[in-house]
Amino acid sequence: MWKIMNIIKKIKFKTNIVVTKMLSYESNEKRFTKYYIHNSFGSSESKSGEGSTIEQTAEIRKRLPYIFRKYNIKTFIDAPCGDYNWMRYVRMDDIDRYYGIDIVKTLIEKNKVDYGNEKIEFICADIINDRLPSGDMILCRDCLVHLKYKDGLRAIENFKKNNIKYILITTFNLLNDNVDLSPGEIWRPLNMQVFPFNFPKPLMVINEGCTEDNNNYSDKCLGLYVLKDILI
């Protein structure tokens, strides 16, 4: 009997290795489309995850209009925009143009129907490889935490190529060391000021007041940087 059990364990172990390798080779487009279709982030309110709920974005929604005014933001890029669950409640009186960008085509098509107008435009694009609109500021929230180092660095390089002045990006400022995304993992926290990103000191930091996972990520912030000052 124990021999049979050992054989079953070996088969399961080898199967897990194969599945993990398959996931690691899957494109970001396919991966995030699956997350969206199957609601892999598990929120009942937003398919973009618990971090995109109204509760978890209260502080950001309050602070964004101030940033728009202080830094004269007129063209605002939101990449990835997700399902636009919370952003639709942000006051954009000072914004002339909003671009919501995401790699998931079905999500973008839905956003276009539900929220698109002459001021708000949604574009299906890959932030790593595709040309993006130029603008005054890009919000890259809850994104690089889902990407491997190499893809995250390439995304930053792409932002720098597209004539965007500021970046407002997720960072966990009490984290001492970053780790790369392992095959099969959905996410992990990142501190943008340590290796391999090594961002300079931010112009501004917004603590999101995150209460997810029993307040284990209370240091989750948005850091504002001048893109040209980031050396990748």
- For 1, the 3-state DSSP assignment is coil
pLDDT of residue 25: 59
One-letter identity of residue 165: K
Domain 28-229 -> CATH class: alpha beta
Q: Choose among 44, 52, 117, 119: nearest CA to 81.
A: 52
pLDDT of residue 24: 52
* 151 DSSP 8-state letter: H
pLDDT of residue 39: 86
Question: Are 61 and 89 a contacting pair, CB within 8 Å?
Answer: yes
Pairing relationship of beta strands 204-207 and 220-226 according to DSSP bridges: antiparallel
pLDDT of residue 6: 40
pLDDT of residue 65: 98
* DSSP code per residue over 6-57: HHHHHHHHHHHHHHHHHHHHS-HHHHHHHHHHTTTT--SS-TT-GGGSTGGG
Bridge partners, 76 (sequence order)? 98, 137
Which regions of the chain are under pLDDT 70? 1-25
Q: Choose among 48, 51, 61: nearest CA to 220.
A: 51
pLDDT of residue 41: 84
pLDDT of residue 2: 39
